[in-house]
Structure 1
């Protein structure tokens, strides 16, 4: 443990400076991402997708049996057989930049700035931990900064593994800026000692698992919202409508099926880690308070969140609960996660009331 108060103060100041710098660079990255959408063109692929969405696919079923006809010269002439048609799924959109080289360059600049902001952000979290000589998530300010770091990390990881997903930049960076702005203006507290219950190695295990889970759940929720918008656009285009004022946005996104699959994969990927976080919390509770589970508000909402995500995954495995209904359930689950953090910590008193808000 660091026993030099001057060194601790210097590290704390460095952490604050790095955080302010990260927020500034995040803002530049967000503006560059917005500019990519603004100057990006719809692109040939997206223009063609509207026609594909409205065009019925070839019939994939046998013609229905005719039930009547007309008489011509004493011979019955059967009416043309009716066929079934279905909406053909449009292809993926061309991305935020469309086919504009200038917008594509703005998107690349946004990614580079996001990576730089992530490094500054990481440096702020690490120096905060060094300044307080403990895991840097012992209060709401520290948890918020770590959560925003994981949300950015999840976006960069998806970008690295799936290629061009820069269409995620605007909503992800907006929520990261909102989280960090709230953290530094409302939730900020100076480095302080932890309450006795938090003096445990389980702080590293349980809370870090919850932070990583929250970052991936956040990205999954963003993709789910975009899926709902794109799906409504595809339905409107198939019905012969224009698709609304945001048609140019929806047309550049991946297809609804692709977005739905990505959101499901993100949630199913991190759900085991969230399960582990809940179990680790119960083990920690037994070590701290002598019982594994006591229906404390924090424990209760963690369980509600787990049940909601479990129901979402079960719904996705059930034929009748795919698409929009499953997406709504996924958003409810993420809302429970957010309430468990902000609502329970600030407004509800319990054994976990150590938010540190002034």
Structure 2
């Protein structure tokens, strides 16, 4: 069928609008991040001053001073600052959902413009996988205590969207013959969902390692300032683990469905094509992470590193295998 250029242009406009909304959300998230750093510093300063005051009183050296004499910000002012920061976090969350709506419109309308499922080239896959990550993150980070993670999610997603909308952009066109199959929406969407949740798991694992290195109250230097507003290492580890539990079966199902499609299209279930091979390695790494996470001697930073390696392998598969290596999946590249 001919391409509906009007719908195609509308899809591009929705994508650009979503990008702008996410950028505004990132600025608000960074502002919130900075405000929370100040609130945390002030609360710690006051807590330290109160402990020092109690120690002076205990040894009889208080000199008649009272807690109001402490050289720190009053609790009322701290509460006011934190409420102001929470408003920024709420605004960030609202903008993220607005961006997701526009993002979803761009992806769906792209499909209507070409009358097919919109996952047939790298631009559309990038459009879909970034949407999946944003939805998964918005659901996972709905609680106020998690919203300090938004700068860490929005920054790489905006980078992927920018790259996808520029260097990977492909004009709306009918699907290539090799992808004219009912297996396309089933296989590729399942893989994309698994990969989206896996990216959230990998980011959480990276931040978990940062939090282990810069424990609450012991932060120092540049990386300490970055880590200060983050949740505890235990919470980050739990997020990475729960996301990986979803990633493993979903991504594995996508590989299985791809094997069934391969048998239908090429007469064999598995042929060690580069993309097939790296996808299998990625799935094995997620399985290894979950096993290590449940093993006392590996639980902690060792397991997190396996998760991060799985994320790196997935990114390698997305870019290098699709765009550089020649194989049966070469039609998924820039052609």
Q: TM-score, normalised by structure 2?
A: 0.85
Give the Cα–Cα distance (whole angstroms) in 2 for the partners of residues 99 and 330 of structure 1.
36
Unaligned runs of 5+ in 2: 49-78
Q: In the alignment, does 2:238 pair up with 1:234?
A: no
Instruction: Summarize the alignment of residues 255-274 of structure 1 with structure 2, pairs less than 5 Å apart.
Output: 255-274=232-251
Instruction: Summarize the alignment of residues 247-286 of structure 1 with structure 2, pairs less than 5 Å apart.
Output: 247-286=224-263
Report the CA distance shift for 1:355/1:140 in structure 2 as closer, same or farther (over 3 A).
same
Instruction: Summarize the alignment of residues 30-49 of structure 1 with structure 2, pairs less than 5 Å apart.
Output: 30-40=26-36, 41-43=38-40, 47=44
Q: Indicate which of 204, 207, 212 corresponds to 1:223.
A: 204
Give the Cα–Cα distance (whole angstroms) in 2 for the partners of residues 354 and 98 of structure 1.
56
Deviation of the 1:251 alpha carbon: 3.0
Give the Cα–Cα distance (whole angstroms) in 1 for the partners of residues 246 and 328 of structure 2.
30
Q: Indicate which of 160, 163, 171 corresponds to 1:190.
A: 171
Report the equivalent of 2:67. none
Q: Indicate which of 1, 15, 24 corresponds to 1:28.
A: 24
Secondary structure at 2:116 match in 1: coil
Report the equivalent of 1:154. 136
Q: Which of the two has higher C-alpha Rg?
A: 1
Deviation of the 1:199 alpha carbon: 1.0
Q: Indicate which of 112, 128, 136 corresponds to 2:110.
A: 128
Unaligned runs of 5+ in 1: 52-96
Give the Cα–Cα distance (whole angstroms) in 2 for the partners of residues 44 and 184 of structure 1.
40
RMSD: 2.2
Deviation of the 1:104 alpha carbon: 1.8
Give the Cα–Cα distance (whole angstroms) in 2 for the partners of residues 12 and 46 of structure 1.
52
Report the CA distance shift for 1:356/1:234 in structure 2 as closer, same or farther (over 3 A).
closer
Secondary structure at 2:221 match in 1: coil
Equivalences, count: 303
Report the equivalent of 1:322. 299
Residue deviations 1:73-122 (CA, integer Å, cap 9, x gap): xxxxxxxxxxxxxxxxxxxxxxxx99522222222111111111110010
Q: Indicate which of 167, 172, 177 corresponds to 2:153.
A: 172
Q: Indicate which of 322, 329, 332 corresponds to 1:345.
A: 322
Give the Cα–Cα distance (whole angstroms) in 1 for the partners of residues 206 and 324 of structure 2.
27
